[in-house]
Chain A
Amino acid sequence: MRVEITMPDLATTESEVTLLRWLIEIGQPVQLGEPLVEIETDKATMDVEAVAAGTLQAIHVQAGDRVAVGQVIAVIVNDVPEPVAAAPAAATPQAAAPVASAPVPTAPPKAGSFFARNKAAREQSPPADGASISLSGIQRDIARRLQESKQTIPHFYLTTSANAAGMAAVRAAAPGKLVWDAFFVQAVARALPDFERLRYRFDGDKLTRNPDAIGVAVDIDDLLYVVPVENPAALTLAAISERITQRAEAIRSGDPAARKLAGTCITITNLGMENIEMFQAIINPTEVAVLAIGKIAPAAVVANGQVVVQDRVTISLSADHRVVNGRYGARFLSRVVEELEAFGP
């Protein structure tokens, strides 16, 4: 029998879901109830179980595609005989169905209900022709959070620079390759105990403690994630570096657990590798501050009355003025600079 697998109605408020990846390859056997495909709804990522056993013969939807509920996404074939006297409308023109073709349109839901009409209206809206780009659930969520942050948190910004020579020397001497972010995570972790207030967030009529973890912003496939480094004060540079690399790799490989938001108190975000000298970042709620790192480059500075050339890095703190004031932020940032300049082989 040839069984068309349709997208179940698993979204909460939307009529579409995003297909993340296939868990079975074409030509492979499938068990009844075995996870077949991973999807992302407006609320969660989840596996969709196969509703038939057999061999996965064809897939009609690729990873990353938006899929409407009821749309045929795959075909499973098995030895079960075709049901006799099938309803005429259900007969599928087998020869006409090319493998891995464009999505097969499904019969429209029965006209009449409010939801059915709404869904039909949405489906009839013009397809993407460059005039608009549809956003995935995660993209919309990120957009909403950033907007909320920028509109509701009174940010203030402080910028300074640090001598990066010590960091560069440690990095050059290290056996493995250390990610730059690890230095900033460790410097912040060392500075934070004397600046406890940065571990709290504004919470209506009080301040509420945030977790101790420090976040590192990573941009993977145009999506923003924050990798949490837990208990950073107890970790070596190498351990912090490894933690960041591993977690980013897990996100890249599609591990839903790694993609989940975790509690952090401050995020490090770095555009140095993109040749940016300095920038000011938006606070990631419910954090209280974000530290933006520019590129490390030689600069002419005056030291002991002499103009010298030094590798320097510009760092910019964005902080929530409801929680800390300017001088507190400035002292913290100066302390971070001291910690950065204290690195050395």
Chain B
Amino acid sequence: MTIQNASQYPPDLLLNLYERMQLIRQFEERVKRLFLEGKMPGTIHQSQGQEASAVGVCAALNADDLITSTHRPHGHALAKGVTPEAMMIELFGKGTGCCKGKGGSMHIGDIDKGMVPAIAIVGGGIPLAAGMALAIKMQGESRVVACFFGDGATNEGAFHEGLNLAAIWSLPVIFVCENNFYGASTAIAKVSRVAHVADRASAYGIRGETVDGNDVLAVYEATRRAADECRRGEGPVLLELLTYRRTGHSRRDPAHYQPKDEQERWFARDPITLLRNTLVDELGDRLDAIDTRIDATIESAIEIARAEPEPTVADLTTDVYTTEITR
């Protein structure tokens, strides 16, 4: 299987999309191993299989556009340009990480790259994205906000409130639903009678679109259209990207609820394999070089992260509202 119409795009763009997706996949795989080795604390929510949605959306945004993310944020962060080093240091809980080691996996982010620290509360980012877009609009800027959330968030009250508010004020938000068909272990069909999340857009009088979320170019195009609309004051837009997790909800979840035939159907349409198959004839050498470079980048990020200093007890009282502790 390959992606149609890829030849219309400049090779550098295609290679860049491939590199971003492969960086996410290899980063996640390496973090998984660190977790299994007991070298990474906490549980982690990983995004193997969903790379095209993160990369396709972020590639269509400008550097100063903003994103909000979820409990499954590694892919979004890497796609928006947070470096693997800064992220790895954060995951190791070191004081020099992108959130000073205080955020960890589920609150990773870097506002300088346009990513507010990830919001792990399901649906929690949706009203915040509307608020950020309101600030952009009131300041007369042309930036947009892409707000990532999963299908599980679409039955939260925050989804309704955030979309409705953004709609009545025509706010520049692209609501990006990564529909991987399971809210943790619950199939979406068990919790919604609406066949497509995008259909819900009509309830708010906004445009909705369902997109093949494993086709990075389809995601890129859909996001470009949506971003243009938002910048023209015709937002918000609800994008539904159909994709699939190659891992459990968290590292502790073996995903037995994903039927085998469903897994096989989706794994055959793996977003990275799709793009690789599309490019391999013309650009095979450069793809291989990218893979090698990514390996080295990630290993070096791990070495740097391991050597970074642990946070100190004194760090406990920084970045908080008061440094005075009353007894």
Contacts and interface: CB of A to CB of B under 8 A. Distances in A.
Interface stretch (B16-24, B36-44, B47-55, B82-90): B36-44
A6 B251 CA distance: 16
Interface string B128-172: 000000000000000000000000000000000000000000000
Interface stretch (B60-68, B187-195, B252-260, B288-296): B252-260
Interface of B: 33, 35-38, 43, 251-254, 256
Interface in A28-82: 41, 43-49, 51, 69-70
A8 interface: yes
A10 interface: yes
Contact of A10 (B33, B37, B251, B256): B251
A256 interface: yes
15 contacts: A6-B37, A6-B38, A8-B35, A8-B36, A8-B38, A9-B38, A10-B252, A12-B252, A43-B253, A44-B253, A45-B254, A49-B36, A51-B37, A69-B38, A256-B256
A100 interface: no
A11 interface: yes
Nearest to A260: B256
Contacts of A44: 252-254, 256
A11 B33 CA distance: 17
B312 to A, nearest CB: 13
Nearest to B42: A9
B187 to A, nearest CB: 16
A256 B256 CA distance: 9
Given A44-B256, A48-B36, 8 more contacts: A8-B36, A8-B38, A9-B38, A11-B252, A44-B253, A44-B254, A46-B254, A47-B254
Interface size class of chain A, counting residues whose CB lies under 8 Å from the partner chain: 20 to 34
B10 to A, nearest CB: 35
Most chain A beta carbons < 10 A, residue from B37, B252, B256: B252
B251 A51 contact: no
B251 A70 contact: no
B256 to A, nearest CB: 7
A70 B38 contact: yes
Given A51-B36, A69-B38, A9 B254 contact: no
A70 B253 CA distance: 18
A46 B43 CA distance: 16
A211 to B, nearest CB: 16
A298 B37 CA distance: 62
A74 B43 CA distance: 22
B58 to A, nearest CB: 28
Interface string A168-182: 000000000000000
Contacts of A8: 35-38, 251
A41 B43 CA distance: 14
Interface in A143-190: none
Contacts of B256: 44, 256-257, 260
Contacts of B251: 8, 10
Nearest to B306: A87
Contacts of B38: 6-9, 69-70
Nearest to B41: A9
A310 B38 CA distance: 66
B252 A51 contact: no
A9 B38 CA distance: 7
Contacts of A11: 252
Contacts of A51: 33, 36-37
Interface string A233-259: 000000000000000000000001100
A49 B36 CA distance: 8
Interface in A2-33: 6-12
Most chain B beta carbons < 10 A, residue from A10, A12, A43, A260: A10
Nearest to A46: B254
Most chain B beta carbons < 10 A, residue from A12, A51, A70: A51
Contacts of A43: 252-253
A43 to B, nearest CB: 7
Nearest to B252: A10
A80 to B, nearest CB: 14
Nearest to B250: A12
